[in-house]
Amino acid sequence: MGDAEQSPLTVTLRIPSSQSPVSLTLTANSLLIKGSKPQHVPLLRVLKAHFDPESRILNVAYLAERGGKNYSPLVNIEGKVEDQNVDSTTASWVENVLQACYEGLSVERSRQLLVFVNPHGGTKKGVSIFVKVVEPIFRAAGCGLNVIYTTHQGHAYEVVKESPLEYAAIITVSGDGLIHEVINGLSHHGNPIKALSTPVAPIPAGSGNGLSLNLLGIKDGFDVGLAALNVIKGRPMKVDLFSMTQGGKRSLSFMSQALGLMADLDLGTEHLRWMGDTRFMVGLLKGIVQLKPCPVQLSLKVAETDKTKMAEDLVTSRKEFEKDNISRSLPFNSITKVPEKSTLPPLNYLPDDADGWTSFDEPLIYVYAGKGPYVGRDFMAFPVSLPNDGLIDVMVMPLSPRKDILAAISGAAEGENYWRSNIKYVKAHAYRVKPLKPKGNLSIDGESFPFEEFQVEVHQGLGRFLSMYGQYAVDFASQNPAID
């Protein structure tokens, strides 16, 4: 910001649609726009400043607050700088603005993006969302785009598996399933460690948008404009990924693994994707009526079981983050060095290893494990989850009366289930599941997998997501509200 203080901080424009001149002032934290209605635009939301010396036209683009709309809209201000004597300083002012809203935020300009748009995912609005809202925002920020409209399941996997790794980030315009596909494509790249260091970011256009909720928060998790801003201004945040091994095959999971009721309400409502995330509540109510036990044996490599301590650790992590003004996200100019050739991290827990494992032998309604607090708008399943703690959060509900399950719906969006005494919550290094009956559902990141024996373990910091905040944008009441 030093350069900005050495040159004029205000530019005055004559805009055809306005009777009065409009002044733009660069401040320490915002762009002050004074016209008919003065407003401060945070530098985080400023996308573009461009001055054409021949026409003396200045163009500034920014993302406005959502207001009553479903998304934060793109706003362009364009006008003529009337005073010819300030042309040279206007060009300097433009550069100062760009420096402040990009380099000043440790963000690179004009990112090169690989974008996957799923025309058929969720409510089938992916193409419209991208073309009408997201792409204009990317273009305004000067991003280079390679846009691929997926034509079949596995399309994104095939592309990223052979990607030259020349992109600043990989973007999905869909739900969480396409992110699962991208991450597994990166894991099968010739250099998987380097490939998985490429940041991934979602534009929420599916029926399940858990990752977007975790990165942007419950208020903004479905704001496709703000999700586009996260692509432009977010920084790489290290996140844990999971190896899921089953039948000698290994795949990666980034968000959740579900069995029993939680898998049934996901996979059993595929035909209701047109309803958006409302389908999950419909599936939950159906599951409560049927109330089928989950026929599995669960074993865990336990790290922590004390709910109070886990909640305190969450608070401590947030305080350290704010106190030291640190960020778990990384500037693009300090990308972690990786070898030119690499393989995925080795598996630390063999299937026949029984030392130090804890078995859960009660009849169960569901097993739900994952990373990131929200799995959907109505359910904060893992409220004390941290992006990069090297652990997986596991929630287990023993067989319970219907009234207890119905009671658990209340407060589920705020994570109150965490404090219920009949719900077991564990942080683990790994866990394994052995089905006791031949039929059942297993959902991995919302995708159907065979209902067969499997094992999951954590790889700390293996993946990257773009984040404007450097931590999950989630509020959780970390004190026990004594709800039962």
- The torsion region of residue 154 among left (phi > 0), alpha (psi -120 to 50) and beta comes to left
Q: Are residues 159 and 208 in the same domain?
A: yes
| One domain, residues 159 and 59 | no
Residue 480 lies in a domain: no
Q: Please report whether residue 337 resides in a domain.
A: no
Claim to verify: residue 258 and residue 406 sit in the same structural domain: yes
Do 289 and 188 have their domain in common?
no
Residues in the chain: 484
CATH number at residue 166: 3.40.50.10330
CA distance 211 to 253: 12
Residue 475 lies in a domain: no
Enumerate the H helices of 47-165 as residue ranges.
87-101, 126-129, 135-140, 155-161
Residue 304 lies in a domain: yes
User: Is the predicted pLDDT of residue 436 greater than 70, yes or no?
Assistant: yes
Q: Mean pLDDT for the chain?
A: 89
Residues 90 and 128 in one domain: no
List the single range of 174-178, 273-277, 361-365 with lowest mean pLDDT. Answer: 273-277
Say yes or no: 117 and 165 in one domain: yes
Q: 250 and 364 share a domain?
A: yes
Confidence (pTM)? 0.91
Residue percentage of the chain with pLDDT more than 90:
68
- Looking at the structure, do residues 298 and 386 belong to the same domain, yes or no? yes
Per-residue model confidence (pLDDT) at position 400? 84
Rounded CA-CA distance 468/229 in Å is 9
pLDDT of residue 203: 98
Is residue 10 in a domain? Answer: yes
pLDDT for the residue 1? 38
- In this model, does residue 4 exceed pLDDT 50? no
83 — pLDDT class (breaks 50, 70, 90):
confident
Q: Provide the CATH number for the domain around residue 261.
A: 2.60.200.40
CB 311 within 8 A of CB 479: yes
pLDDT score of 133 more than 60: yes
Q: Residue 452: which of 303, 306, 252, 297 has the closest Cα?
A: 297
**Total domains, the chain:** 3
Is the pLDDT assigned to residue 349 strictly greater than 50? Answer: yes
- Please check whether residues 295 and 402 belong to one and the same domain: yes
What percent of the chain shows pLDDT beyond 70?
Answer: 88
100 and 206 co-located in one domain: no
Q: What integer is the mean pLDDT of 463-472?
A: 96
What is the per-residue pLDDT across 147-177, written as a single tens digit (0 to 9) for each? 999 999 999 999 999 999 999 999 999 999 9
Q: Which of 187, 206, 233 is the last residue of a domain?
A: 233
CATH of the domain at 65: 2.30.29.30
**Could you tell me if residue 165 is inside a domain?**
yes
Tens digits of residue pLDDT in 167-205? 999 999 999 999 999 999 999 999 999 999 999 999 999
Sequence-ordered list of residues with C-beta below 8 angstroms from that of 57, at least 6 positions apart, any chain: 51, 78, 79, 80, 81
Residues 474 and 373: beta-carbon distance below 8 Å: yes
131 — pLDDT class (breaks 50, 70, 90): very high
Answer yes or no: is pLDDT of 327 > 80. Answer: no
List pLDDT tens digits, range 313-323: 999 988 887 76
Among 105, 133, 167, the domain boundary falls at 105
345 located within any domain = no
The whole-number pLDDT of residue 352 equals 80
Least confident interval from 9-18, 291-300, 368-377, 419-428: 9-18
262 and 386 both lie in a single domain:
yes
User: Is residue 40 domain-shared with residue 61, that is, in the same domain?
Assistant: yes
Which of 10, 48, 38 has the alpha carbon at shortest distance from 26? 10
User: For the chain, how many helices (H) and strands (E)?
Assistant: 13, 24
Instruction: Compute the average pLDDT of residues 405-422.
Output: 87
The boundaries of the domain holding residue 27 are 2-105
Determine, yes or no, domain membership for 470. no
Find residue 117's DSSP bridge partners.
149, 173
Question: Tens digit of pLDDT for each residue in 102-118?
Answer: 999 999 999 999 999 99
* Residue found by looking up tokens 């004594």 in the block: 482
Range in 10-19, 131-140, 394-403 with the lowest mean pLDDT: 10-19
Pairing mode, strands 57-63 and 249-253: unpaired
